[in-house]
Amino acid sequence: MLLNVENLRVSYGAIKALHGIDFQVDEGEIVCIIGANGAGKSTTLRAISRLVNADAGSKMDFMGKDLLKYQADKVVSVLGISQVPEGRRLFGNLTVTENLTLATFARKDREKIEQDLERVFALFPRLAERKWQKAATLSGGEQQMLAVGRALMSGRKLMLLDEPSMGLAPKLMMTMFDALKVINDEGTTILLVEQNARLALKFAQRGYVLENGNLVLEGKSSVLLEDPNFKKAYLGG
Ligand code: ATP
């Protein structure tokens, strides 16, 4: 098992966002967490990245190591977990190439960086054409590609994706998911959160369903897609 989460609780002041959730991700898998607005999807990813604190009693192991002992920067540089946040958070004044190389600041394998940069440009030719363009002037879809590229540059073990489909036109969405499939085939495990349940389950092998901070359903994508309650709640009947 790559990631094991037990009894994960997160609060923002008096607001309890996660009420003690359990889930696992195996090496090489693509797993999705599905849920409506405010269900706690982003919070789950932020807890793994250590960008928000987990409440006492929460347990998270990554490759047998206690994730809660690592600070956010070490989660990326030591453990190889990278996050593609909702809203992308790129450096708008820096170029595409600068955004990508900045993500590697903590890496020890300097000699591989150039190779990885070429890999990102091969996966996303649109970025290659825009190497010297400032990130702020990229289209929304191109910014999303750059955010994924940046995550690939910073850590390769586990990629956490927050709504990768958001704001993308259908054609770009296909490009994005094709690229993510290649990234997964090359050995990066993927955990993504999505509101678009159908899309997420087409892409992932397994899914968890989050409602109001609780996991209410889990299973293989093919099983969830046929579950009558799930269909009614998340697939429009
Ligand atoms: P969406 O699909 O709308 O992005 P989500 O499933 O990702 O939703 P979260 O962003 O994890 O949901 O939010 C879970 C709950 O925690 C929500 O009720 C939200 O209002 C609350 N919350 C999130 N961030 C904060 C914060 N910084 N301060 C206070 N409450 C927060």
- pLDDT tens figures, 91-115: 999 999 999 998 887 777 778 888 8
Give the pLDDT band of residue 174 (cuts 50, 70, 90).
Answer: confident
pLDDT at 35 over 90: yes
Tell me, what's the pLDDT at 111?
80
pLDDT at 18: 98
Residue 2 has pLDDT above 90, yes or no: yes
Q: What is the pLDDT of residue 188?
A: 94
The candidate with the shortest Cα–Cα distance to 182, out of 149, 206, 150, 137, is 149
DSSP 156-223: -SEEEEE-TTTT--HHHHHHHHHHHHHHHHTT-EEEEEES-HHHHHHH-SEEEEEETTEEEEEEEHHH
Decide the pairing of beta strands 206-211 and 30-35. Answer: parallel
* Residue 189: predicted pLDDT: 97
Q: What pTM was computed for the model?
A: 0.92
Atom of ligand 1 nearest to the CA of 86: 4
pLDDT at 156: 81
Q: List C-alpha distances in Å: 10 to 32, 43, 137, 141, 215.
A: 19, 8, 36, 31, 14
In the block, which residue shows the tokens 């969405």?
Answer: 173
pLDDT at position 171, please? 85
Q: Calculate the CA 229 to chain-centre distance.
A: 26
Q: State which of 10, 12, 210 you would mutate to test the pocket of ligand 1, scoring each by most atoms of that ligand within 8 A of its C-beta.
A: 12
Q: How many percent of the chain have pLDDT more than 70?
A: 99
CA of 49 to the centre of ligand 1 (A): 16
Q: What is the mean pLDDT of residues 108-127?
A: 88
Q: How far is the CA of 44 from the centre of ligand 1 (A)?
A: 10
* Average pLDDT of the chain, as a whole number: 92
Q: How far is the CA of 213 from the centre of ligand 1 (A)?
A: 10
CA of 53 to the centre of ligand 1 (A): 14
Does residue 237 carry a pLDDT above 70?
no
Nearest CA to ligand 1 atom 26: 12
Q: What is the pLDDT of residue 66?
A: 97
Rounded to an integer, the average pLDDT of 177-188 is 91
CA–CA gap between residue 138 and residue 21 (Å, rounded): 37
Q: Among the atoms of ligand 1, which is closest to the Cα of residue 39?
A: 6
Instruction: Say if CB 81 and CB 51 are below 8 A apart.
Output: no
Q: What SS3 class is residue 225? A: helix
- What the block records as the tokens of 143 is 């910014």
List all residues whose CB is within 6 A of at least one atom of ligand 1.
12, 15, 17, 35, 37-43, 86, 195
Average pLDDT over residues 162-166: 87
- How far apart, in whole angstroms, are the C-alpha atoms of residue 176 and residue 51? 25
Asked if residue 86 has pLDDT above 80, the reply is no
Q: Give the model's confidence band at 7: pLDDT under 50 very low, under 70 low, under 90 confident, else very high.
A: very high
Question: Among residues 74, 234, 75, 100, which one has the least CA distance to residue 160?
Answer: 75
201-231 tens-digit pLDDT: 999 999 999 999 999 999 999 999 999 989 9
